[in-house]
Amino acid sequence: MTIASRLADLGIVLPEPAAAVANYVPAVRSGDLLYISGQLSNDASGGIKGTIGVDVSLDQAVAGARLCGINLLAQMQAALGGNLDRVARIVKLGGFVQAGPEFVDIPKVINGGSDLMVEVFGDAGRHARSAVGVYRLPLGFAVEIDAIVEVK
């Protein structure tokens, strides 16, 4: 089964990849590794903004991390000439959560992105990860995730 057909089975339509909002590029390839810049919990409806544990629930935050994952997939697809079958493995995700002062379930939030990678790539989607709570994220979004991907 191709990754494109797996995405279709999951009902996922990838958006146009987001343009960089500052002085960086969305993706850089070095050898067999593709580094994807942080993707926000953004979509066509405006995405999920706010602070988890204050004005964003855990369930909303997990959905936001899934949006980050979808945006990562869109960037991967663009960087790989439209062919996600060139992904050999998701090596690492770096997750950032705009967390309120009492919110501690940061790993549960980033599971939204991690679970998506396993749904899409199977065992090749299992990865190393960091999950960090932060005071603020760009443009007020609730979640940001970046990725390192091995490509073939």
> For residues 38 and 146, what is the distance between their CA atoms, to the nearest angstrom?
4
Q: Is 143 in contact with 137 (CB distance < 8 Å)? A: yes
* CA 40 from centroid of its chain's CA atoms: 7
> For residues 45 and 88, what is the distance between their CA atoms, to the nearest angstrom?
32
Residue 99's region, left for phi above 0, alpha for psi from -120 to 50, else beta, is: beta
DSSP secondary structure code for residue 84 in this structure: G
| pLDDT band at 61; cut points 50, 70, 90 | very high
Token pair belonging to 96: 């950032």
Token pair belonging to 1: 């089964």
pLDDT for 10-50, tens place per residue?
A: 999 999 999 988 999 999 999 999 999 999 999 999 999 99
Token pair belonging to 82: 């439209």
Query: Whole-prediction pTM value?
Result: 0.97
Strand order in the sheet with 87-98: 27-30, 33-40, 143-151, 87-98, 128-134
The amino acid at 95: G
pLDDT for 91-125, tens place per residue?
A: 999 999 999 999 999 999 999 999 999 999 999 99
| pLDDT band at 1; cut points 50, 70, 90 | confident
